Amino acid sequence: MAISRNGCEGCTEITCTSTKDVLSKDLAKTVITAYDRVKARGMSACLFGSTGTCCRNCNMGPCQIIDGVDEMIGICGATADTVAARNFARTIASGSAAHTDHAREMVKGFIETAKGHGPHEIKDENKLMELAEIFGVDTEGKDKNEIALEIGELALADFGKQDDTPVTMLKRAPKKRQELWKRLGVEPRGIDREVVEMMHRTHMGVDQEYHNIMLQGARCALGDGWGSSMLSTDLTDIMFGTPVPRRAIVDLGVLKHDQVNVTVHGHEPLLAEALCLAAQDEEILALAKKVGAKGINLAGVCCTGNEILMRRGIPVAAGFVQQEMALATGAIEAMVVDVQCVMQSVAEVAKSFHTDIITTNYRAKMPDAVHIQFEEETPLESAKEILKKAIANYKKRGDFFIPEETKFDVVVGFSHETINYMLGGRFRGSYRPLNDNIINGRIRGVAAIVGCDNYKMPDNHHEIIARELIKNDVLVLATGCAATGLGRVGLLRPEAVQYAGPGLAEVCETVGMPPVLHCGSCVDNSRLLIAATAMVKEGGLGDDISDLPLAGTAPLWMSEKAVAIGQYFVSSGAYVVFQNLPMTGSKKFSKFMMEEMEDIYGGRWDIEEDPVKLAQKMIAHIDKKRAELGIDKKRERVLFDMEMRRDLGGGGLHDVGCAGPAK
Ligand code: NFS
Ligand code: SF4
């Protein structure tokens, strides 16, 4: 179907240069994107759905509930409070399930690697030993594969555990937090079990009390953050290497006119890593040359992109909202997808071009896509088969447009370990300098900007929020598509220090780091839990995560995973603000979530649509925590002398070494 689009006027508030460029070309004229669909639908979201009070949990409904109107409760008598809580909890369960099923695959891949099967190996032995201690694995006289196998089997058992003891990783949290969870009865037991129990309790006629529903909501989310996501991050690091700072590039300009462009879209790094290896294989390179291409250009989309960006410096072509735009360049031979955040529309967009959409996971098939199952036992063979399909398409490429000038330098790879070494020095990794700089006020606090981008909102909100935060001396940690978006506007470069307040700028300049740190994919939000715990353990900033001058946001969230992440941060003691949440149809439930939850967890939810005000609310929370810690008076500017610079400079970017892009 042809659509009329004059430049980009037919779209909804796009500020992204590369997106505008691609959409303005004749090539994209037949392409209908989500921006067009948002416009066609008139942006009118269902009031009941968007405020959390539409229930379709049984066939007496669906029931649309109006808070405070007696005749507008559910047929079963369920109130707005119960329905909003049940819906919210189910969103957490779905988001947690997505992370958990992903993590299970990673653990199984880890076990295969430990057994010596497949192309991967145990790379990060330090982290392996750390995990051995956490899991209580005796390492004496064992080689790394034996240790890894024991860890892998214990980790896998955490998913299906049926006894009532907590999942293993929970013991990494600050002591006080663990005691609170125990007192509240929200320690996650089996990771899968918490999702099942959440679904059961929100079934018709079970849990009817929103406080109680949200106890399980917390437990389920904690099973994600401190359970499956954390396992996935750590085991992936051990197999593929813990990220270190490296330079790379992002945006649609990373596509190459003279190479076979293959984008990897989805979430599971096992597939992406195998494709990285296969793209360097001589047989594959020879085939590419045979069709006249100079090589294989792999580029990421969404979180799988973040995984290979962090570990290998492979460029990221697009975040979530750009997936259709990447195809509309006409320059992609194959978009390889696995699970999560893949829009069904990509198959439709691809029809206008020579591009194949290749699904690879039995869980996630699409009409009009080619399916090549990624076999975990033979990953390299699967990856080669996929690349051969892409190579065969190269000669079919017709007109294309790559916005070559729009690609941004970024510095990525800020794992918890990197932050430790950068700020603490290579030989004495520690959070002491970070804590000291927070205490003396050069750094006002730490903010996490995470999660998706979303066609419903202008695409520059991440940037507005980040700029407001760094201008006010707040160090920003970013993950997921938010991080990619911040890269697209140049905030992931050390040069972005010019936008930071004087205190933060001083620290960043001394260390040589950007004021916005890319910490990985959405699963890697677990790194932020560990970083927050390290700040607590370092001392001087209270004895729990809820004492830290810390705040989080996933402003442009679209995925249920973002709600699960938000809840595990809130239940871990953080203040978390989104631009909207489906809970406002119940006064009591939203008051509970946005006010009373703080009395229980020391963290709470909040909602603020305006991006500047949202950032200011985060700063206000940070300032409140500074005042409670008694460090609010210390925000005078202290100039660094040479000794302080030497102290800080030991492990900076210069020292760790910015590996260039792997290609
Ligand atoms: Ni996170 Fe990543 Fe992106 Fe959102 Fe989707 S890719 S796991 S869910 S859209 S950040
Ligand atoms: Fe309606 Fe109750 Fe059934 Fe929900 S569970 S659809 S509120 S009758």
Indicate which CATH number applies to the domain containing 114: 1.20.1270.30
pLDDT at 26: 87
pLDDT per residue as tens digits for the range 375-434: 988 999 999 999 999 999 999 999 999 998 788 899 999 998 888 877 766 556 788 989
- Could you say which ligand is closest to the alpha carbon of residue 205? 2
Closest atom of ligand 2 to CA, residue 77: 2
Among 191, 209, 240, residue at a domain's last position: 240
Is the four-CA dihedral 436, 441, 443, 449 of positive or negative sign?
positive
Residue with the two structure tokens 């904690």: 222
CA distance 495 to 515: 9
521 Cα: distance to centroid of ligand 1 (angstroms): 8
Mean predicted confidence (pLDDT) in 46-70: 95
Tokens of 593: 């979530």
Using the mean position of ligand 1's atoms as its centre, give its distance from the Cα of residue 562 in Å: 8
| Shared-domain flag, residues 568 and 445 | yes
**Pair (208, 158) in one structural domain:** yes
236 lies in the same domain as 268: no
pLDDT given for residue 6 in this prediction: 38
**Contacts within 8 Å (CB) and 24+ apart, 35-39:** 35/10, 35/11, 35/455, 36/3, 36/5, 36/10, 36/11, 37/345, 37/455, 38/12, 38/455, 38/456, 39/10, 39/11, 39/12
Residue 27, pLDDT > 60, answer yes
Is 60 a pocket residue for ligand 2 (Cβ < 6 Å)? yes
End-to-end CA distance of the chain: 39
Range 321-349 average pLDDT: 96
Q: Residue 554 CB: number of other CB atoms within 10 A?
A: 30
pLDDT band at 636 (very low <50, low <70, confident <90, very high): low
Where is average pLDDT lowest: 98-112, 130-144, 329-343, 635-649? 635-649
Per-residue pLDDT at 164: 96
Residue 235: predicted pLDDT: 97
Q: Are residue 91 and residue 169 in the same domain, yes or no?
A: yes
pLDDT score for 643 = 61
Compute CA distances 551 → 155, 181, 452, 544, whole Å.
Answer: 30, 20, 17, 14
Find the Cα–Cα–Cα–Cα dihedral 635, 631, 626, 452, rounded to 10°. 60
Number of H helices, E strands in the chain: 28, 16
The two structure tokens encoding residue 160? 């299906």
Range of the domain at 91: 57-240
- The pLDDT score that the predictor gives to residue 10 is 41
More confident residue, 528 or 642: 528
Per residue in 74-92, pLDDT (tens digit) is: 999 999 999 999 999 999 9
Residue 416: the pLDDT is 87
Count of CB atoms situated within 10 Å of the CB of 260:
28
Percentage, residues of the chain above pLDDT 70: 93
Say if residue 220 is in the same domain as residue 365: no
**What is the model's pLDDT at position 659?**
32
The overall average pLDDT reported for the chain is: 92
Evaluate whether residue 654 is within a structural domain. Answer: no
- Give domain status of residue 224, yes or no: yes
Two tokens at 377? 């036992």
- For residue 457, the model assigns a pLDDT of 85
Out of 53, 54, 59, 63, mutate this one to test ligand 2's pocket (max ligand atoms within 8 Å of CB): namely 63
Beta bridge partners of 335: 263, 357
pLDDT of 493 over the 50 cut: yes
- CA of 479, closest atom in ligand 1: 10
Model confidence at 644, pLDDT cuts 50, 70, 90, reads low
Beta strands in 277-407, from DSSP E residues, in sequence order: 296-301, 316-318, 334-337, 356-359, 370-371
The least confident of 106-120, 353-367, 405-419, 538-552 is: 405-419
Residue 641 lies in a domain: no
Phi/psi zone of residue 12: left (φ > 0), alpha (ψ -120 to 50 degrees), beta? Answer: beta
Ligand 1 neighbour 452 (Cβ under 6 A):
yes
| The predicted structure's pLDDT at residue 663 | 29
* 284 and 379 fall within a common domain: yes
Within a domain: residue 401? Answer: no
Q: What separation in Å is there between the alpha carbon of 316 and the centre of ligand 1?
A: 14
Q: What is the total count of domains within the chain? A: 3
* pLDDT tens readout for residues 549-608: 999 999 999 999 999 999 999 999 999 999 999 999 999 999 999 999 999 999 999 999
Question: Is the distance from the beta carbon of residue 75 to the nearest atom of ligand 2 less than 6 Å?
Answer: yes
Task: Write the residue with the smallest CA distance to atom 6 of ligand 2.
Answer: 61
Residue 291's CATH number: 3.40.50.2030
pLDDT digits (tens, 9 = 90+) for 317-327: 999 999 999 99
Quote the pLDDT of residue 34. Answer: 92
The answer to whether residue 15 is domain-embedded is: no
Q: Which of 198, 218, 240 is the last residue of a domain?
A: 240
Q: Long-range pairs for 35-43 at CB < 8 Å and ≥24 separation?
A: 35/10, 35/11, 35/455, 36/3, 36/5, 36/10, 36/11, 37/345, 37/455, 38/12, 38/455, 38/456, 39/10, 39/11, 39/12, 43/12, 43/456
My answer on whether 226 and 272 are in the same domain is no
Q: Using CA positions, which residue lies closest to atom 8 of ligand 1?
A: 559
- pLDDT tens, residue by residue, 508-530: 998 889 999 999 999 999 999 99
Say what the pLDDT of residue 426 is.
53
Assess whether 442 and 502 both reside in one domain: yes
Counting from 1 in the atom list of ligand 2, the atom nearest the Cα of 83 is 7
By alpha-carbon position, which residue is closest to atom 7 of ligand 1? 522
Clarify whether residues 438 and 578 are in a common domain.
Answer: yes
Q: Are 406 and 18 in contact (CB under 8 A)?
A: yes
The CB of 62 under 6 Å from ligand 2? The reply is: yes
- Whether the per-residue pLDDT at 654 is higher than 60: the answer is no
Q: Which ligand is nearest to the CA of 84?
A: 2
Q: Are 103 and 561 in contact (CB under 8 A)?
A: no
State the Cα–Cα distance between residues 24 and 237, nearest whole angstrom: 41
Residue 656 lies in a domain: no
User: What's the pLDDT tens digit per position in 140-166?
Assistant: 999 999 999 999 999 999 999 999 999
Q: Which residues of 190-199 are buried (b: 16+ CB within 10 A; e: fewer)?
A: bbbbbbebbb
- DSSP string spanning 499-552? GS-HHHHHHHHHHT--SEEE--SSTTHHHHHHHHHHHHHHSSS-SSGGGSSEEE
Where residue 40 falls among pLDDT bands split at 50, 70, 90? confident
Residue 649 lies in a domain: no
* Of 57-71, 203-217, 418-432, 534-548, the least confident: 418-432
Residue to mutate (ligand 1; options 101, 267, 320, 342; most atoms within 8 A of CB): 320
Q: What digits encode the pLDDT tens for the residues 178-210?
A: 999 999 999 999 999 999 999 999 999 999 999
Whether residue 185 is found in the same domain as residue 67: yes
Cα separation, 561 vs 539, in Å, equals 32
Instruction: Give 546's contacts (C-beta < 8 A, 6+ positions apart).
Output: 177, 573, 574, 601, 602, 603
Residue 47 maps to a domain: no
pLDDT tens for 429-457 read 788 989 999 999 999 999 999 999 998 88
Claim to verify: residue 136 and residue 183 sit in the same structural domain: yes
> Does position 5 have pLDDT exceeding 50, yes or no?
no
pLDDT at 2: 35
Whether residue 171 sits in one domain with residue 256: no
pTM value is 0.94
